[in-house]
Chains A and B, each alone.
Chain A
Amino acid sequence: MTDVLLSLKGLTKAYPGVVANDTVSFDIGEGEVHALLGENGAGKSTLVKMIYGLVKPDTGEMTLRGKPYAPAEPRQARADGIAMVFQHFSLFDALNVAENIALGMENPPPMADLASRIREVSENYGLPLDPYRTVGDLSAGERQRVEIIRCLLQDPKLLIMDEPTSVLTPQEVDILFQTLEKLRSEGTSILYISHKLEEIRTLCDHATVLRLGKNVGECVPAETSASEMAELMVGSALTPPERGSREFGEMAMDISGLSVPSPSAFGTALRNVHLTVRKGEILGIGGVAGNGQDELLSVLSGETLTANDAVKLHGQPIGKLGPTKRRALGVLAAPEERLGHAAAPDMSLTENAMLTGSVREKLEKNGFLNWAATKEFAERIIKDFDVRTPGPENAARSLSGGNLQKFVIGREVLQNPEVLVVNQPTWGVDASAAASIRQSLLDLAAKGAAIICISQDLDELMEISDSFAALNEGRLSAPRPAAGLSVEEIGLMMGGAHGMEVAHV
């Protein structure tokens, strides 16, 4: 191993009620790609925020090339050669690439100089990008390029990347990795945050595993198996969901020739979508975020109404029926956004059980509400889905993301849907809760329900779906049997590299 660039010693950061980082120590070498591995909530984000000067550690210290390093703010961290690409981009859709980059600089050079600098750096690192394109027109992968180039213009010694591949197709991941390889070969260190084990094994020289805020182990990813790393990360061996063999029944949901204009300026229009799902079948729909997932869910749930026969249930047109009537027919949905869409944050769990349960659980009679029965329903969800909460009278927002997700999924699954549509069912949920949610979807399908699972997690889709289709700019690829699909084929269904020029490194 080469010299140490950044060394962390005993970093601790506590928030009220939770210790986000507990005496974490590790070293990042010069020119090393170092992986920071851990589940959601393991403390990865807090740790990199401390390195980037966004959060001050309670105790512990850092040294940069042997000198004490304690950035008070990100500006100072950047001055010391540390740059970060965030998971969520901070770009203005209406401005062009160069303007966006200029906004983040302290003394931006004249626009023409900056544009040529951007061209130069982007060519050098194999990330071709036209500085005058409007960001609103760029794909997620291209937006990420903007963020990366913004960092590279500072000539960083350490580049922090937070879950960079979560918005990329497999082909786009390959391009990104070539760029990172080039950076490494030039001596730039990279701190790479992810929970995707395979990509860490291909890319990283060294890995530090965090669990519940503690450093629970380090390894050389190339010499460690994915399941060993997963065990380190989760703390116990995971049992993958069981899928019994199922017979598919008759056609349940049938969408044909569905086109819906975009609801907002930077939303996505659905274009000529076809899909069918049979009883007992799980249709997985992949795709990079922002390619029409929300819009598709709202067409299925009845929030967006369409031409009547564009959406059919058991052959009957339902395109003009609203959410309540669809629930009566057995079409249920669980949206991605838990707080504010699937549940009302300040309302109790009982009240939130009423939100979708009123029709099928018969919690309402002539408009009058039966709160006693609703409370029982909420308690049943809490019990059957192991929702950790003191009771149904607690507000939805007092629950952790994973627990609320279990509640939201449980609320729909327990109503015995004929068709269930879920969007990102395990987003931000820890591994064991995710496994139990997936298992409940499989069990529901085994009982004969048709399930449409929209997700950006390809591993999840491969684990549970029978057939697979991908959304790309509002178009849905033709569904194919999931078994035997290769990563390349999936990537092409998702739009390949989205016409992004391949890196010429």
Chain B
Amino acid sequence: MIRLEKRPQPSRAWSMATPLVAVLATMFFGGLLFALLGKNPFEAIATIFWEPLFGEFAFYYRPQLLVKGAPLVLIAIGLSLGFKAGIWNIGAEGQYIMGALFGAGVGLAFYPLEAWYIFPLMVIAGGFGGWIWAMIPAILKTRFGTNEILVSLMLVYVAEQFLASMSLGLLRNPEGHGFPGSRNLNSYESANSWISENAGMHWGVVAAMIAVIFAYVLLNRHMTGYHIRLTGEAPRAAKFAGVNPARLILFCLGTSGILAGLAGLFEVSGPSGQVSIDFNVGYGFTAIIVAFLGRLHPVGILLAGGLMALTYIGGDIAQSNLQLPSSAIQVFQGMLLFFLLAFDLLTNFRIAIGKPEAA
């Protein structure tokens, strides 16, 4: 009989190895899926993982990795702080939208003035927009004990309604011939987050890097980070150590809200360029996968964000080159999280073969 046995302490080797094993398992079963769909599995996997990096058109796809990866990493870093403490912000997508609306709103308010201070103000407004949206579940939780998972998730749909209303009303381009959507910020010099569009570099990429370093220092060298980890490991011990749970909830939800809001702002003022009804494409939800795929570790999240961006871009290529259905790509991405969580078990348990012990 096969059964699981708890390890005396978590295995470091497995903790490092599970993401790799999960990726390999995803490749194997994803290949199986593609084969069942009548595609050559090796070609499909190679298209997804190889083409964007080293293929013929890699010069075009590589910058796209930065563009896709930066918001994922930025949001996932924020989420990971809360997740480590057992505080579940599922509504990053909503905070992302609100950050974009606040930031773009400030930028558009200045149009057509050109000044150096406009973009910094937009950044502050973007962070504020995400923060205020995250404060709603945070305050409801600390005050009334509501469940932050439900509240933050529901607020995503409220934010989407705001987004639609804004793109059809207040922020609509007056010169847009009645089409929904705001002015394009890419053609407004002072409100533009691109550093080098050809290289895929915008301020969001820089912010993501800074966030990785910030989170690493916070978690490993700072009392707040220690308290976050302690709360996740043993809430009662954290209280004994002097952690104020309400303050920690406000900090974790607030930080993840700010980072999600910033990601929205950088996106709207860069790759997307304008506020439109279909502005959000699910970065806020995919970032949850990225956070776990990266083991809630800042460096892991950086790598996971890159990997996720790769499957996005590679998936797009596979869709157009091999006519793979887009839902097959989504299943493929879902498998990644599934296998990761499944193999994660091996960090704390080992597989033993033999008779169970009733003790």
Give chain A residues whose Cβ lies under 8 Å from the Cβ of B357: 15, 55
Q: A322-B242, A398-B9 are in contact. Are A367 and B229 (CB under 8 A)?
A: no
Give chain A residues whose Cβ lies under 8 Å from the Cβ of B234: 339-341, 343-345, 347
Interface membership of A189, Cβ < 8 A:
no
Give chain A residues whose Cβ lies under 8 Å from the Cβ of B223: 358, 364, 367-369
Interface membership of B244, Cβ < 8 A:
yes
Q: How far is the CB of A62 from chain B (nearest CB, A)?
A: 17
Give chain B residues whose Cβ lies under 8 Å from the Cβ of A397: 8-9
The residue of chain B having its C-beta at the shortest distance from the C-beta of A45 within the complex is: B359
Give chain B residues whose Cβ lies under 8 Å from the Cβ of A7: none
- Determine whether the beta carbon of B359 is less than 8 Å from that of A49: yes
Q: A56-B358, A364-B223, A395-B10 are in contact. Are A347 and B229 (CB under 8 A)?
A: yes
Among the listed stretches A109-117, A139-147, A281-289, A348-356, which one makes contact with chain B, having 4 or more residues with CB under 8 Å of it? Answer: A348-356
Q: How far is the CB of B243 from chain A (nearest CB, A)?
A: 9
Give chain B residues whose Cβ lies under 8 Å from the Cβ of A54: 358-359
Taking chain B's interface residues, is the majority helix, strand, or loop, or is none over half, making it mixed? helix
Instruction: Report Cα–Cα, A322/B240, bound state, in Å.
Output: 9
The residue of chain A having its C-beta at the shortest distance from the C-beta of B10 within the complex is: A346
Interface membership of B3, Cβ < 8 A:
no
Interface membership of B221, Cβ < 8 A:
yes
Interface membership of B224, Cβ < 8 A:
yes
The residue of chain A having its C-beta at the shortest distance from the C-beta of B223 within the complex is: A367
Interface membership of A432, Cβ < 8 A:
no
Give chain A residues whose Cβ lies under 8 Å from the Cβ of B197: none
Give chain B residues whose Cβ lies under 8 Å from the Cβ of A56: 358
| Number of interchain pairs (Cβ within 8 Å) | 82
Interface membership of A324, Cβ < 8 A:
yes
Interface membership of A208, Cβ < 8 A:
no
Interface membership of A100, Cβ < 8 A:
no
- Contact string against B for A residues 306-345, beta-carbon threshold 8 Å, 1 for contact and 0 otherwise: 0000000000000000111001000001010101111111
- Determine whether the beta carbon of B222 is less than 8 Å from that of A341: no
- Which A410-453 residues have a C-beta within 8 angstroms of B? none
- Determine whether the beta carbon of B233 is less than 8 Å from that of A15: no
Give chain A residues whose Cβ lies under 8 Å from the Cβ of B221: 368-369, 371
* B contact residues, total (Cβ < 8 Å): 23
The residue of chain A having its C-beta at the shortest distance from the C-beta of B238 within the complex is: A344
- Determine whether the beta carbon of B241 is less than 8 Å from that of A46: no
A–B pairs, 20, beta carbons within 8 Å: A15-B357, A323-B241, A341-B236, A341-B237, A342-B240, A344-B233, A344-B237, A345-B233, A346-B233, A347-B233, A355-B241, A356-B240, A367-B223, A367-B224, A368-B223, A369-B223, A371-B221, A394-B9, A395-B9, A397-B8
The residue of chain B having its C-beta at the shortest distance from the C-beta of A345 within the complex is: B234
Q: A322-B242, A322-B244, A369-B223 are in contact. Are A355 and B9 (CB under 8 A)?
A: no
Instruction: Report Cα–Cα, A501/B241, bound state, in Å.
Output: 44
- Determine whether the beta carbon of B239 is less than 8 Å from that of A346: no
Q: How far is the CB of A243 from chain B (nearest CB, A)?
A: 29
Q: How far is the CB of B85 from chain A (nearest CB, A)?
A: 12
Instruction: Report Cα–Cα, A15/B6, bound state, in Å.
Output: 13
Interface membership of A403, Cβ < 8 A:
no
Residue of B8, B224, B240, B358 touching A355 (CB-CB under 8 A): B240
The residue of chain A having its C-beta at the shortest distance from the C-beta of B9 within the complex is: A395
- Determine whether the beta carbon of B237 is less than 8 Å from that of A340: yes
Q: A56-B358, A369-B222, A397-B8 are in contact. Are A327 and B242 (CB under 8 A)?
A: yes
- Determine whether the beta carbon of A398 is less than 8 Å from that of B224: no
Give chain A residues whose Cβ lies under 8 Å from the Cβ of B230: 344, 347, 355
Interface membership of A303, Cβ < 8 A:
yes
Q: How far is the CB of B207 from chain A (nearest CB, A)?
A: 23
Interface membership of B162, Cβ < 8 A:
no
Q: How far is the CB of A43 from chain B (nearest CB, A)?
A: 12
Interface membership of A268, Cβ < 8 A:
no
Interface membership of B226, Cβ < 8 A:
yes
Instruction: Report Cα–Cα, A66/B240, bound state, in Å.
Output: 56
